[in-house]
Amino acid sequence: MLTKKTGDKMLKSIFSGWSFLKWLGNGIIMILTVALLSFFVNPIFAVGYVIMLLIHETGHIVAARAYDAIVRFGGFTPFGAYIEIINKTSIKENAIIAISGPLCGLLATILYLFLFYFLKDYTFLWLSFFGAVVSLLNLLPLNPFDGGKVIAGTFKTFPLLFIPFLAYGIYYSMDQMILLVLFTVMILYIIYDFVSTRRRNRFKDLVQYKKSTRASIFLVYLLVFVLLGALIFTMVMEYREALLPQIDFSSHISQFQQWLNSILP
């Protein structure tokens, strides 16, 4: 159990409790991420990607600190970054902390889009588009995504509304095995996530704060979702050909093989 003294000490740094091995492991992941993105795209994209992750996690951290939560930076993974909340927070606080990350992700997406318009560097367009897609996926109303945590604190039955549309997709994709499997898995996961939430008996927590507050958080969630979708649609319509970097993977792979041959006995 964390005492108040321990909590105050941990609040001083989001890196409290990090061991040398954790610093080393995160450093390696960071270097490899930047190196690979620099190799396959360019260094500006690599650094911009890391900055985008940090902006997203900063949103979570600032919101968590606003509720005096004991928060620690969990570290980087090959697919992103995460934070850890040490003490218990309410279901409302969890929802607000969860939506704060994608909200900052939306701001980062808009920032990169402005940089593209001013600098005319397509790297920032790619960053904006990539950031918008990742943030939109992160808003899926299912666990373990941020969207799932928002829905858990606002409108738990919302994911069930997607089942009829997915069932309709199954009906019209009988001859396309990939889509058929995808829609079926999505329906099963929605049901599983809903049932597991009920088993945790979290539904009763919703009555602990006003419906108007839940509605406000949910509307912010929908607004961020719609804005990200609109940005993606606009970029696709205006810059369809430029969005995907013209990467010659075969050339890069050949260069990588030559490098390996040069260092291996």
SS3 per residue for 4-57 = HHHHHHHHCCCCCCCCHHHHHHHHHHHHHHHHHHHHHCCHHHHHHHHHHHHHHH
Q: How does DSSP classify residue 161?
A: G
What are the tens digits of pLDDT across the range 8-45? 444 457 877 788 888 898 889 889 988 888 888 889 99
Closest by Cα among 70, 74, 78 to 29? 78
Task: Please give the model's pTM, rounded to 2 decimal places.
Answer: 0.79
Q: In the predicted model, what is the mean pLDDT of residues 145-174?
A: 84
Element of type H or E holding 84: strand 80-85
Average pLDDT, the chain: 81
Q: pLDDT digit string (tens) for 81-134?
A: 888 888 777 788 888 999 999 999 999 999 999 999 999 999 999 999 999 999
Round to whole Å and give the CA distance between 82 and 80.
7
Buried b / exposed e over 111-138, threshold 16 CB at 10 Å, is bbbebbeeeeebbbbbbbbbbbebbbeb
